[in-house]
Amino acid sequence: MSSGKIKIYIDGKLIECDKNKTILEVALENNIEIPHLCYDKRLLPNGSCRLCIVEVEGEKRPVASCTYPVFEGMKVYTNTEKIINFRKLTLQLIVSDHPLDCMTCEKSGDCLLEKYAYEYGIKEVKYYGEKAKRKMKDGSPFIVRDYEKCILCGRCIKVCEEIVGVNAIDYKNRGFVTEINSGFDESLKDTECLFCGNCIDICPVGALREISAERKGRDWEYKKIKTICPYCGVGCGIVVYVKNNEIVKIKGDKESPVNNGFLCIKGKFGFDYVNSKDRLKKPLIKENGNFKEVDWEKAIDFIYEKLKFYKDNYGSDSIAGLSSAKCTNEENYIFQKFFRCVLKSNNIDHCARLCHSSTVVGLSQTIGSAAMSNSLEEIEKYSDCIIITGTNITETQPVTSYRIRKAKERGAKIIVIDPREIEISKIADIYIQPRYGTDVVLFNGIAKIIIDEKLYNEEFIKERVENFDEYKEFIEKFDLSLVEKISNVKIEDLRKVAYLYSKSKASVIIWSMGITQHITGTENVFCLSNLALLTGQIGKKGSGLAPLRGQNNVQGACDMGCLPEFYPGYNSVNNRKTIERFENLWNEKNLPDKVGLTVVEIFENILKGKIKCLYIMGEMPLISEPDILHIKEALEKVEFLIVQDILFTEICEYADVILPALCSFEKEGTFTNTERRVQKITKCIGNFTCAKPDWWIINEIARKFGYEWGYNDVWDILKEINNVVEIYQGITPERVKNDEKIQWPCFSKEDKGTETLHIGRFKRGKGLLKIVEYKEPFELPDKDYPFLLTTGRILQEYHSRTMTGKVKGIEEIVGEEFLMMNEEDAKENNIKEGEKIKVVSRRGEVVLKVKLSKKLQKGTIFIPFHFYANILTHTKLDPYSKIPEFKICSVKIKKFEKLKNSRIINV
């Protein structure tokens, strides 16, 4: 018998199991059915429903199997006459206080109470008397709260508390009048409820339901199709409920290794855009300022003639393209292949430039690979110390924050380093609030403590790190007193971080755009890498560097080579071996071998007259780019603009031709999530318009140029990716269709993939310590513009709001576009909650409603970038990665009395 294992008997069957399990856990793992209503394996058990009772030899009374631990030699009996009668009694008592409307109940066919009543033969109400008078409560805009059906199992309360960490609901009263309540019996909209919908999915009866699915059908009427959420980089598994070719509702996929069935508001409710009236249905060509519907043949002919004209008359460098982190790996692959093979241009980029290009450049230099080094499950189960910096994780990747909460429950120590007091800081063991733009000096300070106090891992450094002596010499000269002066963080707090991080068995650093979107973004990443290399906190379970990707396939778009400096698989464009390899693989001569333009440079070169033609696939630069009035000017100037998208967005107004594409629910392919996991998206509904998959559109244009690549479907493209992209070699169509969800690198069909990177060695050989000097941000507050503006995301919205902006319920919750302001600043400027003010920078101005906050540092204004914050931001770039500094610029505020239906002033 293996260590930690014991032997028990269940109904006479000998079972070997872990000694730290409960009876119910062991039974379910061995396919022994024990009925239960309150238990869910993802939550802590509480034994409240008493339906899971069993007999244990030696115990005088039945025990709740969900809370009773196993022990060596235990004998359990799950179906004795005594136990069956007890269960029947429990069910009869529950049914006696339950509405008997199963024939019309929305949950019929998926209700555990209905299932067990059937199995135990509960045909009639045996106990009559007064019923609990539980009423319907307001859960709009998304949730039906039909508490007449509530059985008080507590699952909804527990998922809200244990997983989401919100406590929006709880028990009210005791005994017969107990009920579930929100706040002071308020509407959910007036509580802290995040509308993640996890309470609906975990409810075992019909008490909680989706408003949008009412009277649309019952469980057996739906097709249930597994696919991947189209929103953030977590890549949650979802189950799509389809009836009459319409998405009726979505649930989390409990079998997904990514999210274990849990979702956020966007994944659960954010699908209305699929049937939006703004969906593009046919190709459109602009004639005399108006769009005219045409067929695909005419649209492709038109594009071919224009692209050929610009290539022949102005050269390949006159054409540029923006691919999309929202499109599949296969679509991004064919997009960059089209540009390189057909148009002979490396002017290809996408939104990764604006979020993690500094991570890509930084980690590529220091350890050879910029991807997240550990899985989300590893962080939950194995990380003992978790540093969270530069990411408001509960809003940007809520499901990842659920993992952090479970890690905390397990005993992991949480360190939060962020200028803004974010939600996750509530559970932090250490919370540090530095000034904006001081990351380099802060992390250099931690590194100095690690070196001065000999907390570094000498053996790891000797075997796996280079440049230590030079780095040590630099750090020893570093003045620690500067840290407190510049960052406003006490040295003693840094010392706590240094000791906890370096001494923990497995430490991980998690970051996102609060680290990367600076002119020192790459250097910030160098500093984080330095900490991991000094302490050896990388290359083992739960230990490493974890940059969280923002969009559903931003990792995959980078992997596929939709970057001006890399061919697929991160092969440098200016390396002769790369060119020779791809010329051989693609059977194409004269591939472009100089680094192309980044997204910001593309628009600059449009204004300079160098870029004549722009092809945009699934991007919305009028929201995502810095200084968007500058972008607007470029879009007005570009001679020929192709827009390929699922919806008619603001950018379509500037297009010469618009191509209608299918959304992820209407096609197949793969997404690669933040933890390098390649997952299949599945066609859930048919599209009966003329819209096509993005790969088909690009392939048809290439065919017009005479290129016959032989792709009959998306899986033919993945087969080519297997041959071209080394880290994807073993992630074949067959394995993807078998739902294997493999993490790259995967080098063969037998390879199971790689959960943890950098075990034993780094891709570049040895890890490189980088010397980094502190530099101030480009534009800090001054007497003319005395406030610091920072930007970011909010939970309910996604990127440019192209998709979430079509969801009525989300817009109802978010309300009017807003900014956040420190309460003291507001008082000093005589500004009140809900008032509209004008925010002005050197680039432009916006008018937004004010929300007051104690969580912002004094002198700081926060504007969600979804609300046109980038009218205000500047275009100064990080010199290494060319990422703009979205996180810091200077602004001033003005009182604004009246706004006439415009968010932008003086455009």
- Distance of alpha carbon 309 from alpha carbon 824, whole angstroms: 59
User: Can you give the pLDDT at residue 562?
Assistant: 98
* C-alpha span between 324 and 343 (Å, rounded): 18
What's the confidence (pLDDT) of residue 896? Answer: 80
Residue pLDDT, tens place only, 598-630: 999 999 999 999 999 999 999 999 999 999 999
Decide if 332 contacts 520 (C-beta within 8 A). no
- Neighbouring C-alpha atoms within 13 Å toward the C-beta of 348: 31
| pTM of this structure | 0.95
Question: How far apart (Å, rounded) are the C-alpha atoms in residues 7 and 488?
Answer: 57
**Relative orientation angle of helices 599-607 and 628-637, to the nearest 10 degrees:** 60
- Half-sphere exposure in the Cβ direction for 521 (13 Å, CA): 32
C-alpha to C-alpha distance for 371 and 357, rounded to whole angstroms: 11
Specify the pLDDT at position 133: 80
DSSP state of 310: H
What ranges in 120-234 are assigned the alpha helix state H?
155-158, 198-202
Structure tokens at 208: 């909680």
Domains and CATH numbers, the chain: 5-79 (3.10.20.740), 129-275 (3.30.70.20), 284-355+553-743 (3.40.50.740), 373-547 (3.40.228.10), 787-906 (2.40.40.20)
Distance CA 299, CA 644 (A): 12
pLDDT at 895: 87
Per-residue confidence (pLDDT) for residue 739, from 0 to 100: 94
H-only helix segments in 549-650: 554-559, 576-586, 599-607, 621-624, 628-637
Selection from 849, 771, 237, 869 nearest residue 513 by Cα: 869
Strand partners, 389: 417, 511
Residue 279 near residue 691, CB atoms below 8 Å: yes
Amino acid at residue number 274: V
**Contact present, 640 and 616 (Cβ < 8 Å):** no
- The angle, 0 to 180 degrees and rounded to 10, between the axes of the packed helices 491-503 and 439-452 is 60
| 323-354 tens-digit pLDDT | 999 999 999 999 999 999 999 999 999 999 99
Comparing C-alpha atoms, which of 449, 439, 528 is closest to residue 489? 439
Cβ atoms of 804 and 853 within 8 Å: the answer is: no
The three state secondary structure string of 638-689 is CCEEEEEECECCHHHHHCCEEEEECCHHHCCEEEECCCCEEEEECCCCCCCC
Q: On the CB side of 78, how many CA atoms lie within 13 Å of its CA?
A: 20
Tell me the β-bridge partners of 247: 242
Which regions of the chain are under pLDDT 70? 1-3, 897-907
Cα separation, 623 vs 433, in Å, equals 29
Structure tokens at 6: 């014991």
* pLDDT (0 to 100) of residue 745: 97
Residue 77, strand partner residues: 55
Q: How many CB atoms lie within 10 A of CB 85?
A: 11
Q: Are strands 836-840 and 889-895 parallel, antiparallel or unpaired?
A: antiparallel
Residue 798 φ/ψ, nearest 5 degrees: -130, 120
CA-CA distance, 682 to 423, in Å (whole number)?
A: 34
Tens of pLDDT along 79-109?
Answer: 999 999 999 999 999 999 899 899 999 999 9
3-state helix, strand, coil in the chain (%, to 5): 35, 20, 45
CA angle 28, 234, 414 (to 5 degrees): 85
Query: Is-contact 414 388, C-beta < 8 A?
Result: yes
**β-pair type (430-432, 413-417):** parallel
**Cα separation, 594 vs 580, whole angstroms:** 14
| Cα–Cα distance for residue pair 7/74, rounded to 1 Å | 8
> Identity (one letter) of the amino acid at 428?
A
Q: Print burial letters for 366-375: b (CB count within 10 Å at least 16), e (below 16).
A: bbbbbbbbbb
Specify the residue for token string 């290009």. Answer: 357
